[in-house]
Chains A and B, each alone.
Chain A
């Protein structure tokens, strides 16, 4: 009954929601529906000839071994980036949360890389690890390691994982730090009095209490590796060598923009969209049960 006490008709609540709804429709539903429509078309670059081809774009994707390779690459890339960026950020956050001299400076420095655009982050890593230009690459070579991301797929994958992880650590660090600071001191002090050692305190108290933050970050990180990393891949490897670093989102970008294959590219982005929705749903359904709010 209380619901009706505030608004007698639907008009005012709808009006109040309108700005948000308009933004969602214009910037999400409209382009997403365009992508779905485009994925059923075969079109030239200029849009002067258009044919409706039903599911042909999808069929040709699933008969392309390159698409499955990109799927495997994405699985490897996203697993490593998520695991590394979350665990390293957690380590840094625990370290920075202690009473140390100059903690603010450490915190600021750790947050900095988040302000760097993905493409610039990529270029920074090229300067370090390019086999001809990179200082660190020369160091590796002088140690007798045949480092060559131009031809070696594993080297190239390592490089893009490093760059993408580095870029995401700041963001994760920020949230973990905030999460740590919101854990009541009294709980930890009680554990100290009970004689729990630091490791025990971390795994039995701090880590479970951080689980809402960790869960949120897991979802955000997966969205990040699936959608936001093509700038890094484009500048560092361009998907090469021999497609070793071509992920699903990079393939969407290179087929659509470079190849002017709009239908195929749209079909790929629709699949990607469905995949990320499904993964997020699964996470909320199964992993969230283990989260203590």
Chain B
């Protein structure tokens, strides 16, 4: 009759694996935002726009620590979706867009463009039914945009808000609903930017100086 035995190192490994699994079970709820973003149906502005995404933007994530033991912590990673949405939007809004090789500045050798747009997520907040007792998932974002020359000299600086929500009715999990709310917020950000970019006073001055005439847009 054979008898199997577990050695002490094996037992230690087993305990570590169990502990790892237990800790993984207690980890934060993670959402990597994913979505498809349509190109804007808009007359492109006749200018060459440079784009520079700071690392805080292209790798943007939001962490919310659980307040109580029954709550779950949340990590919402929006960076990849932000880049996908803004690339699609800006490519449709301007006759030419170019990604900068480095952050615009006096010492930086960069491609020649009319202006460089630098977006940043100033703030992100979310609400799920567990927080609000309302059957709606919401994402609210505030962006800060800087428009600078390729040498880094400021042209304009302004903020813009975006909001997305989704009801619980047609989705299964909290993660899927938060993802869809984030996609809606990104679409809203794109719509807000596309319809209001030429109305930003500093941008208007810049376009006037360059003789760039935008078509009538917005409702």
- The answer on A and B forming one complex is no
Chain B residues packing against A (C-beta within 8 Å): none
